[in-house]
């Protein structure tokens, strides 16, 4: 990911990195409260990443859950 495309919250950024390492696609697509998407191409499913999550730990956990559910076949 280019450095300008990093999430401002460290916890979320770390989870996005884990998603990328698992083979998922991280797309920066700012739109309102949405920072971008974590996409599983084989399933054509995605997780919407909040740019200002109330709890960064919760947002990171949701990304990790998506990574766990989709990392195996990505």
Closest distance to Zn ion from the beta carbon of 39 (Å): 9
For the bound state, the minimum distance from the C-beta of residue 42 to Zn ion, rounded and expressed in Å, comes to 5
Q: Which is nearer to Zn ion, 10 or 43 (CB)?
A: 43
Strands, E assignment, 1-74:
25-31, 34-40, 45-50
Using CB under 5 A, which of 8, 21, 31, 43 touches Zn ion?
43
- Of 47, 40, 45, the residue nearest 62 (C-alpha): 47
In the complex, the residues that contact Zn ion under the rule CB under 5 A are: 40, 43, 70
């Amino acid at each position: 990911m280019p450095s300008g495309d990093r999430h401002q919250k460290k916890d979320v950024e770390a989870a996005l990195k884990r998603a990328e390492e698992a083979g998922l696609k991280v797309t920066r697509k700012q739109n309102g409260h949405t920072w971008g998407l974590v996409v599983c191409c084989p399933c054509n499913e995605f997780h919407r990443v909040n740019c200002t999550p109330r709890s960064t730990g919760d947002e990171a956990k949701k990304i990790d859950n998506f990574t766990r559910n989709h990392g195996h076949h990505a």
